[in-house]
Amino acid sequence: MISIKSAREIELMRETSLLAAKTLRFIEYKLKPGMSTEDINQLCHEYIIKRDAIPAPLNYHGFPKSICTSKNEIICHGIPSSKDIIRDGDILNIDVTTKYKGFHGDTNRTYLIGNVRPEIQRMVERTYQCMMAGIAVCRPGVRIGDIGAVIEEMAHDYGYSVVQEYCGHGIGREFHEEPQILHYGKRGTGVEMKPGMTFTVEPMINFGKRHCKLLDDKWTVVTKDKSWSAQFEHTILITEDGHEILTQVPDSAWSAADNQI
């Protein structure tokens, strides 16, 4: 069942999504080579709980940390660790999901740590473009297959591949709701978008081949060919005449207090 959010529920989705987006904006300026992904996890954890929210990944199906940190050839679901140090030239995806007043907001970005090889920098920028192109088609009456079709075409034009095993998802009272949002596929397929739907768009784009491998920890997903991988994620709302990106921080919504734990 695909839930259609009421006006009140949409307000709560806006609040939780704004908090998730603020957490990313907060952490972005703290990132420094030499930090561990566990340091990043702790900062995000504190930031979220101080605002009376819950980091949704913590204990989700047994996930041991509050955020996912996915570096270089890690596609998604990387587990923060004090042994995992970020270094100059790395790329790091930070995926934040908040649960606030009963609703989830889910967003991630891939950050460049120091000087990253130009071809990898370009892949990261273009992964963002792919996500935004997928979001751009979203409005009532369009089918969700169009999102994946647009993303896949753009990624392939650039010579990259699109991960198929993990996808976007409806979101609301539950972390993962129906429908699944594929990042590949055919136009005109899948369910029709309707006002009040909320879902994520979160393509994972690989520099090499699309295939992935699950590590022994049963969470960390890496590329099979060890090529690097980038991802961006927004939570969006379908409105009467288009869509709204919920996991953005308008400059007017950012104050000095948002910069501190």
Shortest spacing between CB 237 and Co ion, in angstroms: 15
Site size toward ligand MF3, by CB under 6 A: 11
The residue (of 72 and 108) whose beta carbon lies closer to ligand MF3 is 108
Q: Is 68 in the site for ligand MF3 (CB under 6 A)?
A: yes
Q: Sign of the C-alpha dihedral, residues 240, 18, 4, 134? A: positive
- For residues 168-207, which are near Co ion according to CB under 5 A? 200
Q: What residues have CB less than 8 Å from 152, skipping those under 6 apart?
A: 162, 183, 184, 185
Shortest spacing between CB 175 and ligand MF3, in angstroms: 7
Rounded-to-integer distance, Cα 29 and Cα 205, Å: 24
Cβ(143)–Cβ(188) under 8 Å?
yes
The residue (of 73 and 106) whose beta carbon lies closer to Co ion is 106
Closest to 137 measured CA to CA, from 169, 80, 181: 181
The residue (of 21 and 133) whose beta carbon lies closer to Co ion is 21
Q: What residues have CB less than 8 Å from 247, skipping those under 6 apart?
A: 17, 18, 20, 21, 105, 106, 107, 233, 234, 235
**Helical H segments across the chain, by residue range:** 7-28, 37-49, 118-136, 145-157
Q: Is 146 in the site for Co ion (CB under 5 A)?
A: no
Binder of ligand MF3 out of 39, 84, 106, 177 (CB under 6 A):
106
The residue (of 152 and 233) whose beta carbon lies closer to Co ion is 233
- Tokens standing for residue 188: 């005109």
Binder of ligand MF3 out of 93, 97, 227, 247 (CB under 6 A):
97
Q: Measure the CA angle with vertex 29, ends 25 and 32; round to 5°.
A: 135
Binder of ligand MF3 out of 138, 233, 236, 249 (CB under 6 A):
233
- Tokens standing for residue 77: 């679901």
Rounded-to-integer distance, Cα 41 and Cα 68, Å: 8
Binder of ligand MF3 out of 14, 45, 77, 99 (CB under 6 A):
77
Binder of ligand MF3 out of 39, 84, 95, 177 (CB under 6 A):
95
Binder of ligand MF3 out of 16, 21, 48, 57 (CB under 6 A):
57
Instruction: Compute the residue count for the chain.
Output: 261
The residue ranges that bind Co ion (CB under 5 A) are: 95, 106, 108, 200, 233
The residue ranges that bind ligand MF3 (CB under 6 A) are: 57, 60-61, 63, 68, 77, 95, 97, 106, 202, 233
